[in-house]
Structure formats: structure tokens, C-alpha cells
Structure 1
């Protein structure tokens, strides 16, 4: 078995020395960069399968050269940077370049990643992807905590298979980002990634949305419609909130997973379902089965490989880094240099973040809009309960007197939706209604 070839461009002498002394590095055939030309030019002249690049802002021309080169789809990359936002480097990550480790570098994690690459490259190639400051990243995921590094390795291992995946995690933890990263790290990365929220589907139109329909198949079917199975052909179909799909429709999905075929509504033609399924739920699957919300046989079809997404409270060392990450990218977009005060950093680190990463991101976005140059604690608009008061008491004290109930309901729905950044699934869950009910009310408000 031939050894994979590793191209190394490392500026830091101490890091270079650590790598040279590593037994993991010595498993590769090493190709070192020279000083006679840029590393991107050297790389394009080498027959390598993996590249380890220590990069900085001065390498923008190299990043641009890679974006225009076909080797981006032929070589796996591991980038090491200071963490300063870099649009070109982020483009490379979104194009599937690989890993991006940020300073201060955890050399042990880097070597673990190199070892994983060695094992996979010794048998067959894989494509990986990563994006986005201060924290390590993989695909669309950001974080350097042990739970996240474990999640990265899990995704990369299962991505190269065709196994269906069930992603389980709390609202706001990043389940769709996991599904999208799984797609980017798979051999299907050049094919579509199609996401659909099962809880937002009208029961009357579920079959049409999943499998498509022919013109005239039912009242209102004025033209042919491609369902998501056809839209995602060759790629990945993400079924979000799978437990919210009506139980009587789950059996139709099960049949497709069992025989690999589907038929559009009103058609006599049968099509092959050439997709990989990634499903997600914020419920405990076993409890959902017990509650009659998820068919057990469908669960076992979907959960060929279950993936657990850790909540933010299990990623404590990532919290402040994530906040800095969201802030850094807003600064780049707006060409600003806003900063968190020390008090704000303490609040961010100590807050419970029940809404997980989504809540943290929305808080940073709100604070960025409100603050001038320094983001203070009050800019985060965190709804903290006063000592001795519970949520019900606070809510009752804030309800206006003499206002029509439907107006109060409308205000509560719209405010909750705004605080959730427009996420209807989380809004419905917090309000204790179905996603379909929420959609119906929002549609009504458009005509009020």
C-alpha cells in the first residue's frame, strides 16, 4: 500500500520542529514548500493528496489562485491561521477545502486530524469542507471544544458512506448545519442539498412536496411540480423535524426508503429515489415513538447512523469564542471594529443560553445594531428574570389591560418570532402550538 503524499508549508519554526518529530507525520511522504515561488504555485506542481498550510492575510493571492484551480477538488487541505477574518479563505472552506485550525493551535488535535486523514487516504479519497474566527471549524460548524472535535470526526467518518443519518439535538444547536456539513464532506458535495421542514408541510400537500405532482392531479395543480426527492437527485435530502410529520404520511416515506422508489401524485411513472437522507428532530426519538409521533420502523430506517449534536451548555469553552466569531464577521461586513466590554464577555460566558447557538448569534446581532463601539451587557437584551419572580409572574405583569385577546396573541406571536430571528419551528415550540397553526396565523395577519 503506497503512502499518501503530504505537502507542508509552515512558517513557525517551533511548529515545524514539532511536526518533524511526530511519528504521525512520518507516515506520509513529505513534500516541503520552498522559497523560490508561492506555495500555491508549488502545490499545483506537486502530486499530493493532502496539504498543510500555515497562512495569513498576505496569502490572499494564493487563496485566489486555489479558488481558480482544479486542485481544490483533488486535494484535501488543512489551514492554520491567526483567526483574522479572511473572505478568500472562507470561500475556500465553503468550496470544500478542508479543515481550518485557528491560533492558539492545539497541536494534539492537529495530529489527530492528520492521523485520520492518513487512515482514509491510504484506502480512498474523501472530500471535506469547512467555513468560518478564533475557533476551529469544519464545514459550516464552528468550535474547538472536545464535543465539537468529536462531532467533526464522526461526521467525516460517516460522510463517505451512503448511510441514512438521524441528527438529534436541541433547538438552535445547529442540526441543519450538521446535515449540510455532512453533505459537503461527502462524495455528493457537487449535487444538491435540499432541506424541508416536515412540521411546516400542509397535510394535504405532503405527498406533492415530497414526491411531486403532475398537472391536473388535484384542484390547483396548474403545472407539473418536482418534489424534494427529485430536486435532491444525486445529493442529500434533509428532513427537518421529522417527528412533526403526520404519522399517516410517515408510512409513505418508509415505503420509499424500503424500495427506493416513488411516484408523483397523478402519475403512473415510478422514479428511483437517488438521494441520501439526513433527518433531524429536537425530540428524544424513543419518547417520540412512545408518544405515537414517530413510527418505530421509520426510525430504524432513518437512524442507520445517529448523530448527537451537543447543546451549547456542553461546549462551555466555545461560548465566548462563538460570540467573538459572530462579532468578527459582522465587523468585516460593516467595516467596523466593535468590541465586547469585559463585563459583556463575563455575561456571555456565564449566561445559560437555553436557545443554544442560535440564541447566542441573535443576541450578538441585536447588540451589534444597538452598540456604537463598545458592546455593553444591556445591548444583548437578555431577558433575565428578577430574583423571586418566575416566568409566569413576569409575563402576567407585562400583559396590558383592556386589549382584545386576539391582538395580544398577535403581538406575542410576532414578538416571539422576531426574537427567534424568524425561525418558525422554535417560535411554535415556545408558544406551544404546531408549526402549521403558526403558519396559518401568520398568513392571516398578512391580510389583517
Structure 2
């Protein structure tokens, strides 16, 4: 079983018996002797089921229920109660507990409750999967695309959004990392709180420290008053740190401390400030390489990388290009007061381009094309030279023209050159494309055109 259970009871004997029996039956079980101990575990782990006594010294089961649901809303809670506190258990169910069990009870009785809770959890996951499949037909919140790679991204967003776990979003520049961060925030229990975004390379190190953590009056020249930083501005919400791989050592240490202890102090101050802020971070750099070179702390990486989310480059989701193009056409037609439509020839160029700048580059190209378009038609000539230069790579057969005898001879020669190159590179398309000075997508097109395949 992949489900993890947390048993919370101040009665050590009961705790040990239940742990031993449930582990023998195949469950992954952890225990806690108090509500405070349980909360510490919940903050650092995900549990499918939480079984807790209602009456305990210190933080009781009711308080644990409330606080655990803020941290992990998807965890199913089963309350252990004595006959005299059944009313309290019913109140707990109204506040989100799944069920309760009366003392004394046998391990078999508890397992029945656990199995029932797990079944309900599975039903919820099936409903979510159906919602994802339905919603992703056109878009996922503000994210456009229905390719297989993007549906995997949507599934991971759905799973991590309701938690308070830090998320490290990776991907090339222009793939939409901030958009994904905003979507995670909007689907979390912090959606009513602020979303604060900070670009870590936009400011010099000294300025960034003050920007993030704020400063006290007189802490440096020009600090004429206390200033609240981005961390405090994000209280009860989400702080998004873009280009996290560029942070200097000092700020990395301060961020690590916040992730570990949930507190910090302003520049020039000594007061520890406790905050409830979720951290989402993004980078287009390879952090493992930066760790090896000593530019990034390994312990900070593991704290941020509790849950990772990689965004594919646009060339890896070619099926989404048409849908994205029409979305940007609609957006900029509205902004510019135009009614431009894209021709099939121009759209074919967009679909064949590699897009090193990813979605951001596509958006800029479409916006520019609308501005330049005449007679409400976006033609190949309205696209950048780098794109129109690829026209030769699109088969003239698609235009419905007949090839001349000379063209046929040229094609025969080209087919033979490509075939020989493929053989020399053992049909490795990446190596062959590099050898011939072609883009990989162009090579694939020509292979299809000439019927070249290894089999």
C-alpha cells in the first residue's frame, strides 16, 4: 500500500498495539504522542489518514483537526472518542473529520474505518481526474494547451495546490513558470490571500535583501523609516521567487532559515517575525550544476524541491501551437481593436518553428503580426524574417502545386543525401540533423516526405 497513516494518542500502550497490528496488515504507519508532535510531522510529510484521540493533554484532537486541515486539506481524519464525548466527535465531523470510533475498539473495527476512508479518497481522486480531463479540453485555468505533456503538468498542479508544500518550478525562459505559480496559488486554500512575485535577478543583492525581508529605520544610509518586505506582504498567501538560482549566499541562508523555522528578521533588526507564507520558486538554470560549482546551497535545494514541477519547452508541445496562436489572436485583436485572421500558410510557419523563446516568443510574434496585418489577414510576410526563411522547409506539395522535372531531380538528390547521413549516424535523428545543418523537426518532415525510415 502507498498510503501513509499517522496515529496520535497520548496512551503509549494503545499507540504501540495499533501501530504493530496495522503494520503487519501492510499499512505504512507513523505515530505521535501529542497534538504538537503530530503537527510537526504533518508539516513535513503527507498522510492519507490521520487517526487521533479527541482528548489529549495540551493540543487536543479538535485543535489538531483544525490546524492539520489548514496544512493538508486532503488528509482524512478519524477521531477516537469515549462514549461521553460523542457529541464533540459529531462536532468534529461537521468541521471536516471523516468519521469517529468509540472506545473500546478492536484493530479490526479501526481497519474498517480506515478502509472506508481510503475508498472515499480514491473516489475523490477519480472525480478530480475526470475534472482534469474535462477542463483540459480547452485550457486549465489560465493555462492554454491540451497536449499530453501539459496534461501531466495539470495533474501535478491539482495534486500539490491544496497543500502547503514548497514547489520548485523548472523550465526554459518563456515557458510560463509564473503563470503556473499563480495557478497553484488560485487553487490552494490561500487563494483569498496575496500572491507576491519577486524577480531575484532584477535587483542588486543588497537591495534584494531589503526588498524581501524589509528593514528597520537607520539600518543603512537612506533607511529613514521602517519598510515592510515582500515576505510580510505575502502573509497568509504565497511568495513566488523567480530566478531562484541567482540568489547570493547570504540571502540563500536567510531563505533556508525561513523554510526551516518559518521566521526571519528585518535588515538591521533583531526581532524574530513569525509568518505563514507558502514559497513557490522557479528557475531556468540547472541547480544541480550550480550546486556542484558551489553557487547554490544543497540543503536549500532539497527544501525548495519538496515538490518539483517541470514545464516543457514549446517545441516539446507542438500540438498546442495552433490553440495558443488563436488565443493570442483573440487577445490582441481585442486590445488593438482589430479582427485579424491567420492564413494557413502563416500558421504552418508557426507550427514548424523551433521557438527558442517558447510561449513568450510566440505571443510576441502573433502580436506583431496583428499590428502589421493588412485587410484583416495575417500572412507569412507579416512574420519575422527568421520565420519566413523557413518557408522553403515546408513542402510545396502542401500548396497543391506540381513539381517540375528539375525539382524532382533535386528532391531525388536530397533524399539520397539524407538517407546516407542517417545511415552514417545509425539513424540518430538529432545527430543527423546537426550534420546536415537542419532543425530536427525539418529533418523529420523531409524523412516523412521521402518515405525514409529505419524499418
Alpha-carbon distance in structure 1 between the residues aligned to 2:271 and 2:203: 24
Tell me the equivalent position of 2:377: 374
Tell me the equivalent position of 2:204: 202
Alpha-carbon distance in structure 2 between the residues aligned to 1:177 and 1:291: 30
8 Å CA contact 1:261–1:272 kept in 2: the answer is yes
Segments of 5+ residues of structure 1 without an aligned counterpart are 1-114, 388-448
Deviations 1:29-58 (A, max 9, x none): xxxxxxxxxxxxxxxxxxxxxxxxxxxxxx
Alpha-carbon distance in structure 1 between the residues aligned to 2:292 and 2:319: 35
Matched, 1:163 2:165: yes
Alpha-carbon distance in structure 2 between the residues aligned to 1:248 and 1:213: 15
8 Å CA contact 1:135–1:321 kept in 2: the answer is no
Tell me the equivalent position of 1:421: none
Matched, 1:241 2:228: no
How many Å apart are 1:231 and its aligned residue? Answer: 0.6
How many Å apart are 1:291 and its aligned residue? Answer: 2.4
Alpha-carbon distance in structure 2 between the residues aligned to 1:116 and 1:156: 14
Tell me the equivalent position of 1:285: 287
How many Å apart are 1:335 and its aligned residue? Answer: 4.3
Alpha-carbon distance in structure 2 between the residues aligned to 1:386 and 1:327: 22
Deviations 1:263-303 (A, max 9, x none): 11122321113111000000122112122222110000101
- Shift in alpha-carbon separation, 1:342–1:195, aligned structure 2, 3 A: same
Deviating beyond 4 angstroms after TM superposition, the runs of 4 or more aligned structure 1 residues are 115-118, 120-123, 384-387
**Count of paired positions:** 267
Tell me the equivalent position of 1:307: 309
Segments of 5+ residues of structure 2 without an aligned counterpart are 1-119, 391-455
SS at match of 1:167: strand
How many Å apart are 1:225 and its aligned residue? Answer: 1.1
For 1:95-244, list aligned pairs within 5 A: 119=124, 136-244=138-246
Alpha-carbon distance in structure 1 between the residues aligned to 2:387 and 2:341: 22
* Greater per-residue helix proportion: 2
Alpha-carbon distance in structure 1 between the residues aligned to 2:304 and 2:290: 14
- Shift in alpha-carbon separation, 1:335–1:200, aligned structure 2, 3 A: closer
- RMSD of aligned alpha carbons: 2.7
Alpha-carbon distance in structure 2 between the residues aligned to 1:377 and 1:303: 43
Alpha-carbon distance in structure 2 between the residues aligned to 1:202 and 1:171: 21
How many Å apart are 1:196 and its aligned residue? Answer: 0.5
How many Å apart are 1:252 and its aligned residue? Answer: 1.6
- Shift in alpha-carbon separation, 1:122–1:376, aligned structure 2, 3 A: closer
Deviations 1:209-259 (A, max 9, x none): 111112221101122211111011111100100111112321121111111
SS at match of 1:383: helix
1:364 to 351, 363, 366: 366
SS at match of 1:181: helix
- Shift in alpha-carbon separation, 1:117–1:232, aligned structure 2, 3 A: farther
- TM-score, normalising length: structure 2: 0.55
8 Å CA contact 1:137–1:143 kept in 2: the answer is yes
Higher relative contact order (CA 8 A, sep 6+): 1
